Structures are given as structure tokens and as C-alpha cells.
Amino acid sequence: MNTIIKKLIEKRVITIFLAVIIGLVGIYSYYILPRQESPDVSAPYAMVITSYPGATPKDVKELVTKKIEDKMVELDDFEKAMGTSKEGLSIIIVKFDSDADNDKAMQDVRNAIEDVRRDLPSGIMGIHIDTDLVKSAGIIISLSGENYTYEQLESFGELFKTELSNAEGISKFTIEGKLDKEVKVDIDIRKLNEIGLGIDDIDKILQAQNVEIPTGDIDYDGDKITVKTPGIFTSIKDIENTIIAVSPQNGNVLRLKDLANIYVDLEEGMAKYKQNGKNAVLLTGYFKENKNVVLIGKDVRKIIDNVKSKLPTDLVVEEVVYQPKDVSDSVNNFMLSLLEGIVLVIIVVFIGMGLRNALVVSTSIPLCILMTFGVMFLMKIKIHQMSLTALIIALGILVDNAIVISDTIQVRIDKGESNELASFKGTSMSSIPIFTATLTTIAAFSPLLGLPGAAGDFLLAIPQVLIISIIGAYVGAMFITPSLATIFFKPTKEKALKKQRLRGVFHKCLGQSLKRKKTVVLSTFIVLLITVKIIMPLLPSEFFPYVDKDLVYIDMDSENIANMEATERLTDHVVEVLKDIPEITNYTVAVGDGLPKFYLTMPPATPSSDYGQMLCKFDLAKGENRFKSKLELLDHIQSILDENIPEGKCTAKLLANAVPKDAKIIVRMSGENLDRLMEVANIMKKEVSKLEGTTNVRHDMKDKVYQIQVDIDEDKAISMGITKYDIQKQINMALYGKVSSVYRRDGGEYNIKIESNIKDTALLSNMKIKSSITGKKVPLKQFAQINYSSKLDTIKTFNREQSIELLANELPGYNATEIEYRIENELLPKMDLSGVKITFDGEREDIKEYFSVAGILAGFTVILIYIILVIQFNSFIQPLVILMTIPLSIIGSVIGLYFFKKPLSLTAFLGIIALIGLVVKNGILLIEYINDARNEGHNIDEACIDAVDKRFNAIILSAVTTIMGLVPLAIGNSSLFSPMAISLMFGLAASTFLTMIVIPVIYSLIETFREGRKIEV
């Protein structure tokens, strides 16, 4: 190492040139590095949708959902399955572990479905597997206009799609909201009853009359001439004029139009979208991976503007989601914080070191940052809020080593050594403690790489980038700073009086503390005990805050089951109620499905005719800042919805960080008896609603709904030649409809769907059922009764267990974790829970899981650092003295969080863990100098005072630079990173002060005791 240092100092021009090359590589890497707003932590999801027409929710659950779920749990990396069994429909969402291979997981799902298909009922109409739930849309553009139909809007969307699909960096564009048309054959049941045909006969006739079979060819004069027999419908008139019966008496024909209304209309049950109340289609774009979306976004916007200029002016083109702008704004904000931190650090260095030395030390900041960008490019670490936050945290660390090296070199130059010799000897002398300090800092951050799950993936870039920058800072300080010092350093003049006074205060304070060692140590630990036992429990706990975006989305569930029109009326009512809120600037609505996934942590939506979703953009300033936070606005929106929307359940939500959940308070009830589950769920909903601090308490099971029951007298039916199959098939066609054939026109295909005009029970009971045995028709009322009964429309399962989830939100100023404890300790003991299993799955459980893991990692960190220190100091006791800096830092962190009213979030807790490496570094340098002073002949107390005096400038300067670098992050509006910055700042400030007082006192106390024992021996 010394040889390398000496050579680099001697060849300092080459060294500086290499540094410039590294800087240029870093600038280029920054330019081309992929950018995104947040890390991609989406775990692999798959959705399996199975259609089983006519089956009850219970039958769907037992015959379809259960069999598929049983197969899913056998898959590798399976985490959980959430099943929904509805009338004629099974929907299962399968989630895998966050570290599972997405392609393998999705293929496993497909293979499992193929395996289980043979065990499913024969009445299954089809299984759709959606394996594209992980990707989130980078661009969502709405096309709307009062004067345009959905078909016209789709044609405009095709123009955009054609141009945008060829853009560099775009993987695909899709058009959401395309409403296909179909030919409806609406049969008049009264007229059908008058003839001998059944509704299934009409189906067969349409299929037979709309067929094209290759006829063959004829040999003619040595050539083959194809014979074509027209057999398909070429117009609606062809369908209308289809002959369905001929009178044997007079030969009169009966055509389809004589008993049915035939027309072209939109397909029923198709999801549709609206933008600010107008019909719309959504143009949804996806970016290729590992691309700079900001650069791609500039090209895409040019294409959009170009296409837009060619379209009618009354066509409204709006950007619902435009990720390049969001990413650009986010990166720019963090880069601004980074630059502000750099400026503050450089100012502190200038004040503390003087112009020349400060210039040399400050050079390490941009150089290390650019070096980090270069390594990030090689390691494929993207630029986003986590990686940039890590650089902000690292700012002070980047100059620490350079400060120590330059300070040592300056002391030797002041003693008369030449610049080159002082640079070499000063760097060599500091190399071991700096290397050890670097190792301990890396050791402090390394265990954070092992944080599991989605939260670990979300935060992974922080320890990665910190470790890279720490290594870069070591390389810069050891090899580049000495070369620059050789060129620029000069002997210093007398130090300022102000600096002497500050040093004098610490000198005096340490001298008095060494006279009262036991009192100082005891007082310190009393303060630590008060902090941990009294102040820390007062801090509200939080897993992750909500995303810092001005977006709120609303899930809407209609009370009218399987009625898309009712759902659309519900969404229109919600729009009408919320449009007068001044803060809401823009809204996009989906009916029958969720919006395209517009954020990484958005949970997948389940398509259903009774479901809708609304995305609202808001600006708190528009309402003259009457709401202090987005949580207050959310609560206001929810209260308006609760008061004004009686026809459905509406839940307003904010986007979640890392781990998406429907609420922060979740209680899951599982059991075999669904009625019992409903009873307990309704009681719990009522009781939780009474708890202070709760709002929007709901459960995910709908109330029972009425159904029309056809009670068949089987003996009567079979005596008339009517089978169950005849009854179910013909009623199913009449009410549910059936696609009989396909009508082709102008290159498009349209389903021909037969259905009936039955709208009431009287017409249903008079419908004649045709016997497949006798061929005769018998009115339904002759062998069956029409009755009303109640039923559960939906049955939910979680990991194969029948379950109901109770969800609740917390009001501003209240804590979800505390509310869950109140539910568990106050409500549940008073309730009769027989036959019901209770499981909590809210924020509290995430905190327990991840905080305990983080605590274990912190313990592992301390052990790792202790091993490194034992090797360096060849002592078991002195490393323990150094490790005493860790609890001292907790005092500052907790008091800082309490003072600024910040929660003890996961990021704040990780900030406390990160302090371990920072504060131990000061302890290492201090103990190293105390040992050197003792080796020079000083007694223990004198050595302590001498070490603090010599290391005072470096310790204070490195602490202040780190603290000042974090100021922009602490005072920013980020609810995610502000608690982390505050815990780091105050922890480091308290630890720095106490390190220079308490650590020498503890050292003196222990070493004095050990020397006394030696004398006795």
C-alpha cells in the first residue's frame, strides 16, 4: 500500500489525469443511466379468470376456485392466493415471493392450469390467465370529446398508436376502452311461444345458415375452376331474412325478423372509461427496461404533439399519467437536494480548513459521486429516489477520509516537512485507522442488503450506493488527496481565536469529566434509559408513509350485482359529488374494471361489472391550503362519499410505498360457516367504527341479494319429457344470451348473439320449454314455480380458507398500529368468536416483521464491527469502549424524531442502524490517538485530553459536514426520507459530542482499573 501511495504522489500529474478520466466516465454514466421514480419492487402476480355460466358462488368456489387454489399452493415461491367466487365466475390472484423469477412463475401458473383443467366441470366456458400484472404503464393518455363515439375515439387512438409504437424505447402501446360491437338477435318470447321452435333451435339454425365450407373445383379444358357456394351472412338483412320455419300446409315461410329484433349494438359487459365526465379511450404505453425514460419521453411528446396537430380541435387529449415528467421532476428534486448538500458541505469545509485545504478536500465530493455513477452503471443500479438519497446521506462520509488525511498532512507540513514527504508519511500513518474505519462503515451498511421481501427490494439501492461511495471515498482519500495536497498545501498561520475558544470549551469539559468519571458515565446511561424507556415509546410507529404524489384513487363497488349500467350511474354520481372540490383538478374513471396499472405498487384490480375505479389529481393550493396534508384531503373526500353515495361502497385511497395494501388496519376472519363469518364481520365493523381515530370501516363481503329461484317439480317435468338440461340450457340462452355465430363486414368480425326480451317473472314463467325427448313445448309454469330467495353474491378465500377482511383507515393524527392494538386488546376479548379465526394483516404486522429483522441485522452489524476492531486493536476491551458510541447516538436520534414530531418509520430505524458505522468511525480514530499518546509517555488522562485536542478538528468537521449534507433531505417535504435524515443528523450530533467526552471517560475508567489490577498483581 505504501509503495502505491508513494508512486502516485511522485507521478501526481498522471494521478490527477486519471482522476479527470474517472470524472468524465461518471458524467457519461449519469447521462445514460436508466431513470425511474422509485425502485421496481413488484412481486410476480398472476390472475386466473374462469367462466362457469349458471353456477352459484358456492358451486364456483367448490368446483373451480378450490381446485385451482390447491394447485397454486404447490408452486415454487408461492406466497398467497386470493380467490373470489361469484355467480358463474371464478377469479384467483396468485402472488409469488418478491425474489421469484417472474418468467418461471408465470410459466408454472400456465402449466398448473393445464394440469387442473381436466378436473374442472365440463360446463367451464373458458380460462383466461393474465400474467402481465407486474408492469406499470409509463404513459396513459386519454382521448375524449362530447361529439365522438367510442368507435371514433378508438380510430383516433389507432393513429397515435401507429406513430408511438415505433418510438425508440417503447415496448408497446395499447388502446384501453375499445368497445366491440355485436349483432343482437332479441327474440320476442311471446311470438316464440306460438311456434314449435325452441330458442336453442334458433341458435342451431343461425349456425347452419352462416357457414362456409370449401366446395371443391371442376376440371374444365385442362384447368381447375374453383366452385364457390356462398353460405355466410353478408348483411344484416341476410340475418333478418333467415328462414326459421315453413308451413307444411301452405308453404308460408317464417323469417327471423318476424319474431326477433335484429340490430348492431355495443357488446355488454365491456369495461369503459371516462375523462372528466366524457366518454374516453385510454392510450397506454409501456417502456422497455433499463432505458432512460426521461430522454424517451421527450421524443414521445414530440410525436404526440405532431399527431395531435392533425386531429380535430375539439378532440381532448390529456396526459393522465406521464412517467417521464414524474421521473424528471423527482430526479431533479433529489439532484437539487444533492447539490444543496454539496454546497453546504463545501462551505463547512472552507470555514473549518481554509481555502487551499478546503479546495483539495472538496474535490473528493464530485469525484466520488461521479465514480459512484460509473459503478452504478456497471452494476445496473438505476437513478431513482433511493439511489440519490444514498448519495445525499453519503455526502459527509465522502469528505471524512479526505479531512483526516489532509489534517494529518497539514500537521506534518506545519512541523517543517516537505509537501511530498508530509503527504506520503501522513497518508501512510493514517492508512490503517482509515482502512479499519472504512471497513466498519461498510460492515454497518452491508447487513441492510439482507432486508427481505418487497421492503428490502425497495430500499436495496441505499446500502448498495452507500457502500460504493464509501469505497470510492477511501480510494479518493488514499490516492488522490495526497497528490493534490502535495501541489497545493502550505504551512498554516495561527488559528483563529474562535476556533481556540471552541476547542477550549471541549478541553475544559473533558478535564472536569475526567475528575468525575463515575458520575459522568452514570448520568449518561440514565439519560439513555430515559430516552429508550420513556421518550421512544411516545414516538408513533410507521412502516412506510404514503407516496408523495398528488394522486388519490377511489374504488367503487355497486350494490347492483352484474349490472354495468348501475355501476356507470354510481361512477357518474361520484363524479358529480366530487367535482365541486376545488383541490381536485382532473379525474379519470373506469367502469367494469380498474384503470391500467399506473404505479409500481398498485394492487391488481379485479374486473367485474359491479366495480369501478377513479383516479383524481389534486392540488392543495387550489383550495387555499385549507388542508394541511393529503391525509386531511383524503379524509374529507371519504366523508363526502359516505354521506352522499348510498347506492354503493366507495373507498378513497392514497398510493402506498413498497408494500401495497388496501388499508393500514386489516383484520381477517376465517371459518367454514359463511353466515357465521358475516355475523362476526358485521358486529366487528360496528364496534371498530366506534373507536376513536378510525374512518371508512368496511369489510369486503357484500350483503345478501335477492335472486329469482326456479323451483322445478322434477316428476312433472320428466313426465312431460322435459329434462333439467332442456330447462337450464333454454333459460340460460333466454336470459344470459349465447353467441351463435359471427358476422363479417369490412374486415371486421361481430358476434351474433341471441337473447330474449324477458324482463319480468311473468314472461319467464310463460316461456315454453321445448323437450329434447318429445319435441313438444310446455310452459315453464306447468312444472315449475318462480320464487324469490336471498343469496351471497361473492365468496372470498385467502390461501384456500373462506374469509372476510375488515379494513379501516386512520384519521390524521392517529396511528394505525395503536388502533390495531386496541382492536386486539379491547374489542376481541368482549366478542363471541366461536367458529371464527382472527388474523391481523395490517401495518402493525409489517412493522413487527421488518423491524425485528432490522434489529437482528443491527446485532449482526455490531458483531461484525467488533471482530474488525478486535483484529485492529488486538484487544477485547477497547473495541467495547468504541462500541459505546452506538447507544450514545440513539439518544440524539430519538430526541430528534420526538422534537420534530416524526414517526419511527422503517427508514428512520434504518437511519439509526446506519449511524453505527458513522459514529464508530470517530471512536476508532479517537482510541487510536489515545493509544499513540500513551505510547509517547503520557498518562491515561493526559492521553485522552491530547487525543481529543488533536482529533478535535477532524471529528467536528466530519460530523458537521455529514449533518449539513443531510439538511436539504431533512427539511424537504419527503415523508419517506425526512425521518431518516433527522435520525441521522441528531444521532450523529449527540454521538459526536458525547464521543469526545464520554468515550475518553469510559476509556480512562477501564484502563485505570486495569492498570490498578496489574499493580496489585
Residue-wise pLDDT for 34-43, tens only, equals 888 888 777 7
Q: Which sign, positive or negative, has the C-alpha torsion 562, 568, 569, 571?
A: positive
Residue 625 has a pLDDT of 81
Average pLDDT score, the chain? 86
- Torsion angle, alpha carbons of 813, 815, 821, 823, to 10: 60
Residues 698-705 have a mean pLDDT of 82
Phi/psi class of residue 557: alpha, beta or left (left: φ > 0; alpha: ψ in -120 to 50)? Answer: beta
Identify the bridge partners of residue 286 per DSSP, sorted by sequence position.
Answer: 172
For residue 482, what are the CA distances in angstroms to 6, 412, 429?
9, 13, 12
Amino acid at site 560? N
**Would you give the DSSP letter of residue 587?**
E
Give the pLDDT confidence of 837-851 residue by residue, as tens digits: 999 998 889 888 888
- Torsion angle, alpha carbons of 530, 533, 535, 537, to 10: 180
Residues 928-948 have a mean pLDDT of 84
Residue 495 has a pLDDT of 47
Residue 497 has pLDDT above 60, yes or no: no
Domains within the chain, CATH numbers bracketed? 1-32+360-491 (1.20.1640.10), 498-538+875-1016 (1.20.1640.10), 546-656 (3.30.70.1430)
CB 814 within 8 A of CB 632: no
Residues 231-247 have a mean pLDDT of 87
Residue 498 has a pLDDT of 45
Give the pLDDT confidence of 637-682 residue by residue, as tens digits: 999 999 999 888 899 999 888 777 888 899 999 999 988 999 999 9
CA distance linking residue 836 with residue 801, whole number of Å: 11
Least confident interval from 231-245, 445-459, 581-595, 1002-1016: 1002-1016
CB 764 within 8 A of CB 708: yes
pLDDT higher at 601 or 621: 621
Residue 501 has pLDDT above 70, yes or no: no
Percent of the chain with pLDDT over 70: 98
Phi/psi at 776 (nearest 5 deg)? -90, 160
Q: Where are the beta strands (DSSP E) in 877-963?
A: 904-905
CA angle in degrees (0–180, nearest 5) for 55-58-64: 70
CA distance linking residue 187 with residue 754, whole number of Å: 7
CB 428 within 8 A of CB 507: no
Phi/psi class of residue 460: alpha, beta or left (left: φ > 0; alpha: ψ in -120 to 50)? Answer: alpha
H helices of 165-292, where?
189-193, 199-209, 236-240
Residue 496 has pLDDT above 60, yes or no: no
Residues 773-802 have a mean pLDDT of 89
Nearest Cα neighbor of 156 from 167, 165, 145 is: 145
Residue 1 has a pLDDT of 66
Q: How confident is the model at residue 606 (pLDDT cuts 50, 70, 90)?
A: confident
CB 57 within 8 A of CB 795: yes
Q: How confident is the model at residue 889 (pLDDT cuts 50, 70, 90)?
A: confident
- Coil/strand/helix, residue 504: helix
Residues 80-101 have a mean pLDDT of 88
Percent of the chain with pLDDT over 90: 28
pLDDT higher at 359 or 982: 982
Identify the bridge partners of residue 801 per DSSP, sorted by sequence position.
Answer: 798
Q: At what angle do helices 940-971 and 978-1016 cross, to 10 degrees?
A: 170
CA distance linking residue 436 with residue 404, whole number of Å: 13
H helices of 248-322, where?
293-308
Residues 2-7 have a mean pLDDT of 81
Give the pLDDT confidence of 117-147 residue by residue, as tens digits: 888 988 888 888 888 777 888 899 999 988 8
CB 781 within 8 A of CB 766: yes
For residue 680, what are the CA distances in angstroms to 287, 369, 685, 820, 831?
46, 57, 8, 17, 8
Residue at grid coordinates 485530553: 945
Per the document, the length of the chain is: 1017
Residue 574 has pLDDT above 90, yes or no: yes
Nearest Cα neighbor of 432 from 893, 874, 842, 776 is: 874
**Would you give the DSSP letter of residue 129?**
E
What percent of the residues of the chain are helix, what percent strand, and what percent coil, each to the nearest 5?
55, 20, 25
First to last CA, the chain: 42
Identify the bridge partners of residue 321 per DSSP, sorted by sequence position.
Answer: 140
Q: How many CA atoms lie within 13 A of 43 on its CB side?
A: 21
Residue 64 has pLDDT above 90, yes or no: yes
Burial class (CB in 10 A: 0-12, 13-18, 19+), 443: buried
CA distance linking residue 290 with residue 40, whole number of Å: 11
Nearest Cα neighbor of 297 from 332, 318, 325, 319 is: 325
Nearest Cα neighbor of 398 from 354, 445, 341, 352 is: 341
Extract the C-alpha cell encoding 813. 393524527
For residue 318, what are the CA distances in angstroms to 42, 143, 211, 303, 588?
27, 7, 45, 14, 10
Residues 20-47 have a mean pLDDT of 87
